[in-house]
A = this chain, B = another copy of it.
Protein backbone atom coordinates (compact mmCIF):
# COMPACT_ATOMS: atom_id res chain seq x y z
CA UNK A 1 0.00 0.00 0.00
CA UNK A 2 1.30 3.43 -0.89
CA UNK A 3 1.94 5.55 2.17
CA UNK A 4 -0.41 8.17 0.76
CA UNK A 5 -3.27 5.68 1.24
CA UNK A 6 -2.66 5.03 4.92
CA UNK A 7 -5.46 5.99 7.30
CA UNK A 8 -4.23 7.99 10.27
CA UNK A 9 -6.34 8.80 13.34
CA UNK A 10 -5.05 11.97 14.97
CA UNK A 11 -7.76 12.32 17.62
CA UNK A 12 -7.65 9.18 19.76
CA UNK A 13 -7.11 9.07 23.48
CA UNK A 14 -5.44 6.82 26.00
CA UNK A 15 -5.47 6.78 29.77
CA UNK A 16 -2.09 5.13 30.28
CA UNK A 17 -2.00 2.62 33.16
CA UNK A 18 0.06 5.03 35.25
CA UNK A 19 -2.51 7.75 34.68
CA UNK A 20 -5.44 5.43 35.39
CA UNK A 21 -3.74 4.50 38.69
CA UNK A 22 -3.57 8.13 39.68
CA UNK A 23 -7.26 8.54 38.90
CA UNK A 24 -8.13 5.41 40.90
CA UNK A 25 -6.27 6.79 43.92
CA UNK A 26 -8.37 9.93 44.03
CA UNK A 27 -11.52 10.65 46.01
CA UNK A 28 -12.64 13.70 44.04
CA UNK A 29 -13.06 14.34 40.33
CA UNK A 30 -11.24 13.55 38.16
CA UNK A 31 -11.30 9.96 39.39
CA UNK A 32 -12.06 6.38 38.45
CA UNK A 33 -14.34 4.71 40.97
CA UNK A 34 -15.45 1.11 41.24
CA UNK A 35 -19.05 0.37 42.07
CA UNK A 36 -21.63 -2.37 41.81
CA UNK A 37 -24.37 -1.66 39.30
CA UNK A 38 -28.06 -2.06 40.23
CA UNK A 39 -27.86 -5.37 38.34
CA UNK A 40 -25.09 -6.56 40.67
CA UNK A 41 -22.19 -6.22 38.25
CA UNK A 42 -18.83 -4.67 39.06
CA UNK A 43 -18.23 -1.49 37.09
CA UNK A 44 -15.50 1.14 36.84
CA UNK A 45 -16.72 4.65 36.19
CA UNK A 46 -14.72 7.64 35.05
CA UNK A 47 -15.85 10.94 36.57
CA UNK A 48 -13.90 13.85 35.13
CA UNK A 49 -15.91 16.83 36.34
CA UNK A 50 -17.59 17.85 39.57
CA UNK A 51 -21.35 17.59 39.07
CA UNK A 52 -20.81 15.49 35.96
CA UNK A 53 -24.06 14.35 34.33
CA UNK A 54 -25.04 10.68 34.60
CA UNK A 55 -22.42 10.07 37.30
CA UNK A 56 -19.66 9.88 34.71
CA UNK A 57 -19.32 7.03 32.25
CA UNK A 58 -18.31 3.38 32.36
CA UNK A 59 -14.69 2.72 31.50
CA UNK A 60 -12.73 -0.42 30.75
CA UNK A 61 -9.72 -1.73 28.87
CA UNK A 62 -10.47 0.42 25.81
CA UNK A 63 -9.14 3.30 27.88
CA UNK A 64 -5.74 1.87 28.79
CA UNK A 65 -4.99 -1.42 27.01
CA UNK A 66 -2.83 -1.02 23.89
CA UNK A 67 -4.13 -4.25 22.40
CA UNK A 68 -7.62 -2.83 22.54
CA UNK A 69 -6.42 0.27 20.68
CA UNK A 70 -4.82 -1.85 17.98
CA UNK A 71 -7.92 -4.04 17.70
CA UNK A 72 -10.09 -0.95 17.33
CA UNK A 73 -7.73 0.32 14.63
CA UNK A 74 -7.91 -3.01 12.80
CA UNK A 75 -11.70 -3.04 12.95
CA UNK A 76 -11.88 0.37 11.33
CA UNK A 77 -9.04 0.20 8.83
CA UNK A 78 -6.88 2.64 10.75
CA UNK A 79 -3.19 2.17 10.03
CA UNK A 80 -1.66 4.70 12.40
CA UNK A 81 -2.93 6.48 15.50
CA UNK A 82 -1.44 9.57 17.10
CA UNK A 83 -2.63 8.97 20.63
CA UNK A 84 -3.04 11.55 23.36
CA UNK A 85 -3.81 11.47 27.05
CA UNK A 86 -7.44 12.47 27.47
CA UNK A 87 -8.71 15.40 29.48
CA UNK A 88 -8.19 16.64 32.14
CA UNK A 89 -4.53 15.67 31.73
CA UNK A 90 -2.59 17.04 34.71
CA UNK A 91 -4.78 20.05 35.43
CA UNK A 92 -5.70 18.83 38.92
CA UNK A 93 -2.14 18.45 40.19
CA UNK A 94 0.21 20.95 41.82
CA UNK A 95 3.15 21.86 39.62
CA UNK A 96 5.82 19.59 41.17
CA UNK A 97 3.57 16.52 40.90
CA UNK A 98 2.54 17.52 37.37
CA UNK A 99 6.18 17.86 36.37
CA UNK A 100 7.06 14.39 37.64
CA UNK A 101 3.97 12.73 36.20
CA UNK A 102 4.41 14.45 32.82
CA UNK A 103 7.93 13.06 32.54
CA UNK A 104 6.84 9.57 33.54
CA UNK A 105 3.80 9.55 31.27
CA UNK A 106 5.82 10.85 28.33
CA UNK A 107 8.30 8.02 28.87
CA UNK A 108 5.42 5.56 29.09
CA UNK A 109 3.91 6.95 25.88
CA UNK A 110 7.22 6.79 24.04
CA UNK A 111 7.48 3.13 24.98
CA UNK A 112 3.79 2.53 24.10
CA UNK A 113 4.53 3.84 20.60
CA UNK A 114 8.08 2.68 19.95
CA UNK A 115 7.27 -0.97 20.70
CA UNK A 116 4.17 -0.96 18.48
CA UNK A 117 4.09 -3.05 15.31
CA UNK A 118 5.06 -1.46 11.98
CA UNK A 119 2.36 0.32 10.01
CA UNK A 120 3.38 -0.78 6.55
CA UNK A 121 5.76 -3.39 5.14
CA UNK A 122 7.16 -0.86 2.67
CA UNK A 123 8.39 1.41 5.47
CA UNK A 124 9.34 -0.80 8.40
CA UNK A 125 10.49 2.11 10.58
CA UNK A 126 6.96 3.54 10.49
CA UNK A 127 5.05 2.43 13.59
CA UNK A 128 1.32 2.06 14.08
CA UNK A 129 1.39 4.36 17.09
CA UNK A 130 2.72 7.87 17.70
CA UNK A 131 1.84 10.27 20.42
CA UNK A 132 1.08 13.72 21.75
CA UNK A 133 2.98 14.25 24.99
CA UNK A 134 2.10 16.19 28.11
CA UNK A 135 3.56 19.41 29.41
CA UNK A 136 3.64 20.27 33.12
CA UNK A 137 1.32 23.20 32.51
CA UNK A 138 -1.01 23.63 35.48
CA UNK A 139 -2.01 26.50 37.76
CA UNK A 140 1.21 27.56 39.43
CA UNK A 141 3.60 26.39 36.73
CA UNK A 142 6.56 28.79 36.51
CA UNK A 143 6.70 29.74 32.82
CA UNK A 144 10.47 29.26 32.79
CA UNK A 145 9.91 25.54 33.36
CA UNK A 146 8.13 25.14 30.04
CA UNK A 147 10.82 25.62 27.38
CA UNK A 148 13.07 22.95 28.97
CA UNK A 149 10.12 20.59 29.16
CA UNK A 150 9.37 21.16 25.47
CA UNK A 151 13.01 20.68 24.54
CA UNK A 152 13.28 17.45 26.55
CA UNK A 153 10.14 16.08 24.97
CA UNK A 154 11.27 16.90 21.45
CA UNK A 155 14.83 15.66 21.92
CA UNK A 156 14.27 12.39 23.74
CA UNK A 157 10.93 11.01 22.52
CA UNK A 158 11.17 10.26 18.81
CA UNK A 159 7.64 8.85 18.65
CA UNK A 160 6.07 11.84 20.35
CA UNK A 161 5.27 14.35 17.63
CA UNK A 162 3.21 16.90 19.51
CA UNK A 163 1.71 18.00 22.79
CA UNK A 164 -1.90 18.07 23.85
CA UNK A 165 -2.95 21.26 25.62
CA UNK A 166 -6.10 22.16 27.50
CA UNK A 167 -7.39 25.69 27.68
CA UNK A 168 -6.65 26.79 31.26
CA UNK A 169 -2.86 26.71 30.98
CA UNK A 170 -1.28 28.21 34.12
CA UNK A 171 -4.72 29.29 35.31
CA UNK A 172 -5.28 32.36 33.14
CA UNK A 173 -5.86 30.75 29.79
CA UNK A 174 -3.72 30.41 26.71
CA UNK A 175 -3.57 34.18 26.09
CA UNK A 176 -1.63 34.69 29.31
CA UNK A 177 1.36 36.87 28.31
CA UNK A 178 3.55 34.80 30.63
CA UNK A 179 3.27 31.91 28.17
CA UNK A 180 5.24 33.68 25.45
CA UNK A 181 8.35 31.49 26.05
CA UNK A 182 6.17 28.40 25.68
CA UNK A 183 4.95 29.43 22.22
CA UNK A 184 8.49 30.24 21.15
CA UNK A 185 9.72 26.87 22.37
CA UNK A 186 6.87 24.99 20.71
CA UNK A 187 7.40 26.81 17.41
CA UNK A 188 11.09 25.91 17.53
CA UNK A 189 10.48 22.31 18.50
CA UNK A 190 8.37 21.31 15.52
CA UNK A 191 5.91 19.66 17.90
CA UNK A 192 2.25 19.97 16.87
CA UNK A 193 -0.03 21.53 19.51
CA UNK A 194 -3.33 19.69 19.83
CA UNK A 195 -5.77 22.10 21.48
CA UNK A 196 -8.51 20.17 23.27
CA UNK A 197 -11.37 21.19 25.57
CA UNK A 198 -12.29 19.89 28.97
CA UNK A 199 -14.32 22.34 31.04
CA UNK A 200 -17.10 23.45 28.71
CA UNK A 201 -19.28 26.08 30.32
CA UNK A 202 -20.22 24.66 33.71
CA UNK A 203 -23.59 23.15 34.60
CA UNK A 204 -25.42 26.46 35.14
CA UNK A 205 -25.40 26.99 31.37
CA UNK A 206 -27.43 23.88 30.69
CA UNK A 207 -30.52 24.39 32.83
CA UNK A 208 -32.50 21.97 34.93
CA UNK A 209 -33.50 19.36 32.35
CA UNK A 210 -31.64 16.05 32.39
CA UNK A 211 -29.96 15.90 29.01
CA UNK A 212 -27.13 13.58 30.07
CA UNK A 213 -23.81 14.49 28.51
CA UNK A 214 -25.39 15.98 25.39
CA UNK A 215 -25.04 19.70 26.08
CA UNK A 216 -21.57 19.76 27.66
CA UNK A 217 -20.20 17.50 24.91
CA UNK A 218 -22.06 18.79 21.87
CA UNK A 219 -21.89 22.48 22.75
CA UNK A 220 -19.67 23.10 25.77
CA UNK A 221 -16.60 21.41 24.30
CA UNK A 222 -16.67 23.27 20.98
CA UNK A 223 -17.46 26.58 22.69
CA UNK A 224 -14.43 26.16 24.93
CA UNK A 225 -12.09 25.41 22.03
CA UNK A 226 -13.51 28.31 20.02
CA UNK A 227 -12.97 30.73 22.88
CA UNK A 228 -9.43 29.51 23.53
CA UNK A 229 -8.21 29.75 19.95
CA UNK A 230 -9.93 33.12 19.48
CA UNK A 231 -8.21 34.50 22.57
CA UNK A 232 -4.91 33.15 21.23
CA UNK A 233 -5.48 34.90 17.89
CA UNK A 234 -6.48 38.17 19.58
CA UNK A 235 -3.33 38.01 21.73
CA UNK A 236 -1.23 38.01 18.56
CA UNK A 237 0.34 34.61 19.25
CA UNK A 238 -0.11 33.46 15.65
CA UNK A 239 1.34 36.75 14.38
CA UNK A 240 4.44 36.41 16.54
CA UNK A 241 4.99 32.68 15.98
CA UNK A 242 4.38 31.85 12.34
CA UNK A 243 5.93 28.40 12.71
CA UNK A 244 3.62 27.37 15.54
CA UNK A 245 1.37 24.53 14.35
CA UNK A 246 -1.94 24.24 16.17
CA UNK A 247 -4.47 21.47 15.58
CA UNK A 248 -8.00 22.19 16.80
CA UNK A 249 -10.20 19.47 18.25
CA UNK A 250 -13.71 18.86 16.90
CA UNK A 251 -13.12 20.66 13.61
CA UNK A 252 -12.40 23.93 15.33
CA UNK A 253 -15.66 24.04 17.22
CA UNK A 254 -17.61 27.09 16.14
CA UNK A 255 -14.60 29.08 14.91
CA UNK A 256 -15.28 28.63 11.19
CA UNK A 257 -18.94 29.60 11.44
CA UNK A 258 -18.22 32.62 13.59
CA UNK A 259 -15.08 33.75 11.79
CA UNK A 260 -16.64 36.46 9.61
CA UNK A 261 -18.63 37.72 12.59
CA UNK A 262 -15.38 37.79 14.53
CA UNK A 263 -13.74 39.77 11.75
CA UNK A 264 -16.64 42.25 11.76
CA UNK A 265 -16.54 42.69 15.54
CA UNK A 266 -12.78 43.27 15.42
CA UNK A 267 -13.19 45.83 12.63
CA UNK A 268 -15.58 47.73 14.91
CA UNK A 269 -13.15 47.74 17.85
CA UNK A 270 -10.17 49.79 16.65
CA UNK A 271 -7.95 48.98 19.62
CA UNK A 272 -8.19 45.28 18.85
CA UNK A 273 -7.98 45.71 15.08
CA UNK A 274 -4.82 47.77 15.35
CA UNK A 275 -3.13 44.99 17.30
CA UNK A 276 -3.61 42.25 14.69
CA UNK A 277 -1.73 41.87 11.45
CA UNK A 278 -4.59 40.29 9.51
CA UNK A 279 -8.33 39.97 9.23
CA UNK A 280 -9.52 37.25 11.63
CA UNK A 281 -10.39 34.93 8.74
CA UNK A 282 -6.77 34.81 7.65
CA UNK A 283 -5.73 32.92 10.77
CA UNK A 284 -7.92 29.93 9.90
CA UNK A 285 -5.49 29.21 7.09
CA UNK A 286 -2.71 28.96 9.66
CA UNK A 287 -4.48 26.32 11.77
CA UNK A 288 -5.19 22.61 11.43
CA UNK A 289 -8.60 21.08 12.05
CA UNK A 290 -9.51 17.55 12.93
CA UNK A 291 -12.32 16.14 10.81
CA UNK A 292 -14.38 15.08 13.82
CA UNK A 293 -17.66 16.76 12.89
CA UNK A 294 -19.90 13.81 11.93
CA UNK A 295 -21.23 15.38 8.74
CA UNK A 296 -20.15 16.17 5.19
CA UNK A 297 -21.65 19.66 5.09
CA UNK A 298 -19.71 20.61 8.20
CA UNK A 299 -16.41 19.35 6.76
CA UNK A 300 -17.07 21.07 3.44
CA UNK A 301 -17.64 24.34 5.23
CA UNK A 302 -14.51 24.04 7.36
CA UNK A 303 -12.55 23.46 4.16
CA UNK A 304 -14.20 26.50 2.58
CA UNK A 305 -13.34 28.66 5.58
CA UNK A 306 -9.73 27.46 5.58
CA UNK A 307 -9.44 27.71 1.82
CA UNK A 308 -10.66 31.30 1.67
CA UNK A 309 -8.20 32.44 4.35
CA UNK A 310 -5.55 33.56 1.86
CA UNK A 311 -8.00 36.10 0.44
CA UNK A 312 -7.93 37.88 3.79
CA UNK A 313 -4.20 38.45 4.06
CA UNK A 314 -3.34 42.02 4.80
CA UNK A 315 -0.01 43.32 3.61
CA UNK A 316 -0.18 46.28 5.94
CA UNK A 317 -2.01 44.98 8.94
CA UNK A 318 -4.82 47.46 8.23
CA UNK A 319 -7.96 45.40 8.62
CA UNK A 320 -9.84 47.52 6.08
CA UNK A 321 -7.75 46.07 3.33
CA UNK A 322 -9.55 42.78 3.68
CA UNK A 323 -12.59 44.54 2.30
CA UNK A 324 -11.12 44.23 -1.13
CA UNK A 325 -11.12 40.45 -0.98
CA UNK A 326 -13.45 39.14 -3.67
CA UNK A 327 -16.52 37.51 -2.18
CA UNK A 328 -18.42 37.03 -5.43
CA UNK A 329 -19.34 33.75 -7.00
CA UNK A 330 -16.35 31.94 -8.39
CA UNK A 331 -14.03 33.36 -5.79
CA UNK A 332 -14.23 30.01 -4.03
CA UNK A 333 -12.99 27.84 -6.90
CA UNK A 334 -10.38 25.43 -5.61
CA UNK A 335 -10.61 26.77 -2.08
CA UNK A 336 -12.47 23.73 -0.75
CA UNK A 337 -9.69 21.54 -2.13
CA UNK A 338 -6.96 23.75 -0.68
CA UNK A 339 -8.74 23.80 2.68
CA UNK A 340 -8.79 20.01 2.85
CA UNK A 341 -5.01 20.00 3.28
CA UNK A 342 -5.34 21.28 6.83
CA UNK A 343 -7.97 18.76 7.88
CA UNK A 344 -7.20 15.41 9.48
CA UNK A 345 -9.32 12.38 10.27
CA UNK A 346 -9.96 11.51 13.91
CA UNK A 347 -12.20 9.20 15.91
CA UNK A 348 -12.26 10.47 19.52
CA UNK A 349 -11.78 6.82 20.55
CA UNK A 350 -12.51 5.44 23.16
CA UNK A 351 -15.30 7.95 23.62
CA UNK A 352 -18.60 7.62 21.77
CA UNK A 353 -18.59 3.79 21.87
CA UNK A 354 -21.50 1.98 20.22
CA UNK A 355 -24.49 1.20 22.37
CA UNK A 356 -24.65 -2.34 21.00
CA UNK A 357 -21.92 -4.91 20.31
CA UNK A 358 -21.01 -3.57 16.85
CA UNK A 359 -17.38 -3.98 15.97
CA UNK A 360 -17.67 -0.99 13.66
CA UNK A 361 -18.40 2.10 15.69
CA UNK A 362 -21.13 4.34 14.35
CA UNK A 363 -19.21 7.45 15.46
CA UNK A 364 -16.20 6.37 13.41
CA UNK A 365 -18.19 5.29 10.38
CA UNK A 366 -19.97 8.64 10.38
CA UNK A 367 -16.70 10.53 10.36
CA UNK A 368 -15.29 8.39 7.54
CA UNK A 369 -18.47 8.68 5.49
CA UNK A 370 -18.51 12.42 6.11
CA UNK A 371 -15.10 12.69 4.43
CA UNK A 372 -16.28 10.60 1.50
CA UNK A 373 -19.41 12.73 1.14
CA UNK A 374 -17.84 16.18 0.82
CA UNK A 375 -18.87 17.59 -2.54
CA UNK A 376 -15.97 18.81 -4.62
CA UNK A 377 -13.17 16.94 -2.89
CA UNK A 378 -11.00 14.82 -5.19
CA UNK A 379 -9.84 11.32 -4.33
CA UNK A 380 -6.50 12.86 -3.37
CA UNK A 381 -8.21 15.39 -1.10
CA UNK A 382 -10.08 12.58 0.68
CA UNK A 383 -6.93 10.50 1.02
CA UNK A 384 -5.21 13.57 2.38
CA UNK A 385 -7.80 14.10 5.08
CA UNK A 386 -7.87 10.40 5.92
CA UNK A 387 -4.13 10.13 6.37
CA UNK A 388 -1.69 11.77 4.00
CA UNK A 389 -2.06 15.20 5.61
CA UNK A 390 -1.23 13.66 8.97
CA UNK A 391 1.84 11.86 7.62
CA UNK A 392 3.06 15.23 6.39
CA UNK A 393 2.14 17.24 9.48
CA UNK A 394 3.72 14.78 11.90
CA UNK A 395 6.83 14.15 9.81
CA UNK A 396 5.96 10.52 9.02
CA UNK A 397 5.99 10.75 5.24
CA UNK A 398 9.71 10.59 4.60
Contacts and interface: CB of A to CB of B under 8 A. Distances in A.
Contact of A329 (B212, B257, B375): B375
Interface stretch (A61-69, A96-104, A289-297): A289-297
Contacts of A268: 213, 352-353, 355, 363
A300 B304 contact: yes
Contact of A219 (B217, B227, B330, B369): B227
A207 interface: yes
A263 to B, nearest CB: 7
A173 B372 CA distance: 39
B265 A328 contact: no
A15 to B, nearest CB: 19
Interface stretch (A77-85, A152-160, A229-237): A229-237
Given A215-B231, A219-B226, A331-B373, A352 B264 contact: yes
Nearest to A257: B257
A254 B226 CA distance: 10
A40 interface: no
Contacts of A353: 268
Contacts of A261: 217-218, 222, 250, 293-294, 298
14 contacts: A54-B269, A172-B208, A175-B209, A176-B207, A201-B223, A213-B268, A214-B234, A223-B223, A250-B261, A254-B257, A264-B352, A270-B355, A327-B373, A329-B373
Interface of A: 54, 172-173, 175-176, 201, 205-215, 217-219, 222-223, 226-227, 230-231, 234-235, 250-251, 253-254, 256-272, 281, 293-298, 300-301, 304-305, 308, 323, 327-332, 352-353, 355, 362-363, 366, 369-370, 372-375
A259 B363 contact: no
Contacts of A298: 257, 259-261, 301
A374 B301 CA distance: 12
Contacts of A230: 215, 218-219
Contacts of A201: 201, 205, 223, 227
